[in-house]
Chains A and B, each alone.
Chain A
Amino acid sequence: MSCKERRCLGTYLDGEISGRDYERISAHLKGCKTCSLELEGLKETIGLIKELKQIEPKGDFEDYLRELNKKLNKETERPGLIEEFLNIFWNEPALALGGVSFIVWLGIIRIIGVFPQNLRLFEYIAKKVCLIL
């Protein structure tokens, strides 16, 4: 089976071939038994595949639309501050922990006052704690 027309038989059956090529293949099929048989087999296979058809949805359109609207509303709702923060924690835990540490750090500095540059933070805090005690 070395006919070059063989490769085009599917396209020929689908009718998606130009007029000139269609005529050429039609003429070839009249004289070539192998390709004619191939065409018949292909026709049968395509017929079977087409019997599989589209599936029918289980529910009705109203249910589907209700679910879709729920999803759309969820998407358009702006999340609250806490929800947004929790989302960041969930998606970027390292970034969120860094942010929390920074806020705690700022809080400590605010409470204790700006610590001098020549002292390490822990020494400075320790001294302050000792003084308070």
Chain B
Amino acid sequence: MEDDFSLIRRYIAGETACFEELVKRHWKRAISVAYQTIGDYEEAKDISQEAFTRVLRSISQFRFEASFSTWLSRIVVNLSKNYLQRTKKKFPLQEEAELEERATPCNLDDRLQMADLKDAINSLKEPYRMCIILKDIEGFSYKETARILDCPIGTVMSRLNAARRILRKRLKR
């Protein structure tokens, strides 16, 4: 499969259809990152689409250093943070029953444990919560997480360690 960089190069050279392929590869993750950050599906979808329009506007400035996914996620995270600041809403904004059902196990004990875990993650301070979302849920590497959050890799490591310890303590109670 052709990599993202060559798709971007072809798009810049005038093959506009390549952008559709980029969207197809990354739309799910863009929605997911926004949803995990703000907790509202419709808003998350809007944010992901706004991120793609911004990407398109500045694609000629792409430096081919980090991956496209990291660049897109950075825009999504910033838009999501702005949304939370602008609306002054606390996470989670609303329960998305349909989505929640898909993610939770059938066993009642496990369900309760997952519910506790979600509450615990939601109650973390934003910098810690973002590290858990990006590294543990979305599966980005330390380096990618650091790029997305625009902070040193050491900061990601220490925040992640602290956040996991907090979560472990909460689940042990």
Q: Which residues of A line the B interface, CB within 8 A?
A: 7-11, 14, 16, 41-42, 44-46, 48-58, 61, 64-65, 67-68, 71-72, 75
By a CB distance below 8 angstroms, the chain B residues around A61 are 24, 27
Contact of B161 among A7, A57, A71 (CB under 8 A): A7
Report if B173 contacts A (CB, 8 A).
no
Closest to B167 in A: A45
Q: Which 4 A-B pairs have the closest CB atoms?
A: A54-B32, A49-B136, A45-B168, A10-B161
By a CB distance below 8 angstroms, the chain A residues around B139 are 54
Main secondary structure of the interface of B (DSSP, over half): helix
Residue pair B114, A48 in contact (C-beta under 8 Å)? yes
Residue pair A65, B45 in contact (C-beta under 8 Å)? no
Report if B150 contacts A (CB, 8 A).
no
Stretch at the interface among B3-11, B61-69, B79-87, B97-105: B97-105
By a CB distance below 8 angstroms, the chain A residues around B24 are 61, 65
CA distance A14 to B28 in the complex (A): 24
Closest to B132 in A: A49
B residues 79-118 in Cβ contact with A at 8 Å: 98-99, 102-103, 105, 113-114, 117-118
By a CB distance below 8 angstroms, the chain B residues around A55 are 31-32, 35-36, 41, 99, 102-103
9 A-B pairs (CB sep. < 8 Å):
A9-B161, A10-B164, A41-B172, A45-B167, A48-B114, A52-B137, A53-B137, A65-B23, A71-B49
Report if B2 contacts A (CB, 8 A).
no
Residue pair B102, A56 in contact (C-beta under 8 Å)? yes
Report if B128 contacts A (CB, 8 A).
no
Main secondary structure of the interface of A (DSSP, over half): helix
Closest to B99 in A: A55
Taking each of A42, A50, A68, which has the highest tally of chain B beta carbons within 10 Å of its own beta carbon? A68
Binary CB contact string for chain B from 9 to 32 against chain A (1 if under 8 A, 0 otherwise): 000000000001001100111011
Residue pair B168, A42 in contact (C-beta under 8 Å)? yes
CA distance A68 to B56 in the complex (A): 11
Closest to A75 in B: B53
Residue pair B113, A68 in contact (C-beta under 8 Å)? no
Residue pair A52, B102 in contact (C-beta under 8 Å)? no
CA distance A49 to B49 in the complex (A): 27
Closest to B141 in A: A16
Q: A16-B142, A45-B171, A52-B103 are in contact. Are A64 and B164 (CB under 8 A)?
A: no
